[in-house]
Amino acid sequence: MKAADKKRVLREMLFARRFEERCYEAYVERKIGGFLHLYPGEEACAFGVLEAARPGHDYVITSYRDHVHAIKCGVPPKAVMAELFAKETGVCKGLGGSMHIFGTEQRFMGGYALVGGPFPLAAGIAKGIKMKGGDEISICFLGDAANNQGVFHESLNMAKLWDLPVLYVCENNLYGIGTRIDRSTAVIDQYKRVSGYDIPSAQVDGQDIDKVYEAAQIAVDHVRSGKGPYFLELMTYRYRGHSMSDSNAYRTKEEERMWGTRDPIIILRDRLIEAGEITLDDYSAMDTEILEEIENEVIKFAEESPEPSAELLHKYVLAENDPWVHGGAK
């Protein structure tokens, strides 16, 4: 990554962090409802991988922890926030909510609430890419615990069998809600689990964006060049509980403190300071600017947007004006 890119990515990551923290506050203020799963701590995963790919061009799909992936793909933050506020200006017009952010224009193919659900969808998207002959790839971000679903294995088998252009990115934050990985998973190193399907894989430090980026470049090149699927495991940590309803009592303070010293944003910031690219003051100024932007543009937009109209309740259940349904088809 070039220095200019790194500076941009630092800003993007900090924006993502502040966005998520503001979501937390908005939830406490009851502006956001339902389940809310936040991403702080894991930023280098989405940013490192997507920096090496082509967000907005490549297809991306993920789970319920989806806001940041959507934003990095180019989905406007204010439309994401408006969705969380259940407003008509939200990306899904208030019908989806936190776990179901979609931005097809930016090829963000959705956040899904069922663990493991996106594995086969990602392979299917890759199949579509292959049939249409594009140079895009399909990128699937999911947690480590999702790998215990049967569809993980079913999907990897098909992806390899048909050499589909799909990159599986495992964000291994060591926990599935309150269950630590060694209590749910026989083989803890996730990258080893795909060898049975002859799929190349790698495991890297998910807190260091340079390492993620480097590994992701190899992975993306492999997939884009038509060599079939790749599996990338990123070792990371979420700072908050699994969701807002999680008391987070199952983790030790020492463990949390240890990971706190490996903050992906601080790692990148300090590296840029050391290289003389920025100063601490630049960083603070940037932070202030971001906080203002989130408040004055993102939150304001979400707050001031209208509630969805009642007609929306029935609008997207089935296709509208479909001649095959209503007559007139030739």
Partner 1 sequence: MAEIMYWEALRRAHDEEMTRDPLVICMGEDIGVAGGTYKATNGLFDKYGPERVIDTPISEGGYTGLGIGASFLGVRPIIEIMSVNFAWLAMDQIFNTAAKVRYMSGGQLEAPVVIRSPGGTAHQLGAQHSARMEKVFMGVAGLRSVTPSNPRQAYGLLKSAIRCNDPVFINEHELMYNMKGEVPDEEYFMPLEGSEIARQGTDITLFGYNISVHWCTQAAEILASKHGINCEVIDLYSLAPLDRDGIKASVSKTHRAIIVEEAEPAVGVGSEVMAIINEECFFELDAAPVRVSAQNVPIPYNHTLEKMAIPNAQDVVNSVLKMFGLTG
Ligand X SMILES: Cc1ncc(C[n+]2csc(CCOP(=O)(O)OP(=O)(O)O)c2C)c(N)n1
Residue 124 interacting partner from ligand X, partner 1, none (CB closer than 5 to 8 Å by kind): none
- Tokens 């990306």, residue located: 91
- Closer Cβ to partner 1, 84 or 278, answer by number: 84
Least separation, in Å, of the C-beta of 4 and ligand X?
Answer: 31
Site string for partner 1, 225-254 (x = CB under 8 A): -------------------------x----
Residue 103 DSSP one-character state: B
- Assess 143 for contact with ligand X (CB under 6 A): yes
Site string for partner 1, 132-171 (x = CB under 8 A): -------------xx-xxx---------------------
Least separation, in Å, of the C-beta of 65 and ligand X?
Answer: 5
DSSP 3-state of 85: coil
What is the C-alpha end-to-end distance of the chain, expressed in Å?
53
> Helices (DSSP H) in 94-229: which residue ranges?
118-132, 150-161, 209-224
Maximum separation of any 2 CA atoms in the chain, in Å: 68
- Assess 65 for contact with ligand X (CB under 6 A): yes
- Closer Cβ to partner 1, 64 or 283, answer by number: 64
Q: Contact region for partner 1 (CB under 8 A) — 206-214, 230-238, 283-291, 305-313?
A: 305-313
- Assess 193 for contact with ligand X (CB under 6 A): no
Segment (H or E) for 204? strand 201-205
Is the CB of residue 48 less than 8 Å from the CB of residue 216? yes
d(CA 114, CA 116): 6
Residue 313 interacting partner from ligand X, partner 1, none (CB closer than 5 to 8 Å by kind): partner 1
- Tokens 């960083």, residue located: 283
Residue in 62, 98, 106, 173 binding ligand X, rule: CB under 6 A: 173
Which 79-138 residues touch ligand X, going by CB under 6 A? 113-115
Residue 185 interacting partner from partner 1, ligand X, none (CB closer than 5 to 8 Å by kind): partner 1
Residue 61 DSSP one-character state: E
d(CA 205, CA 209): 8
User: Which residues are CB-contacts of 106 (< 8 A; sequence separation ≥ 6)?
Assistant: 55, 56, 70, 73, 74, 75
Residues contacting partner 1: total by CB under 8 A: 38
Structure tokens at 288: 């202030």
Residues that bind partner 1 (CB under 8 A): 33-35, 83, 86, 92, 94-100, 112-116, 145-146, 148-150, 176-179, 183-185, 250, 307-308, 310, 312-314, 317
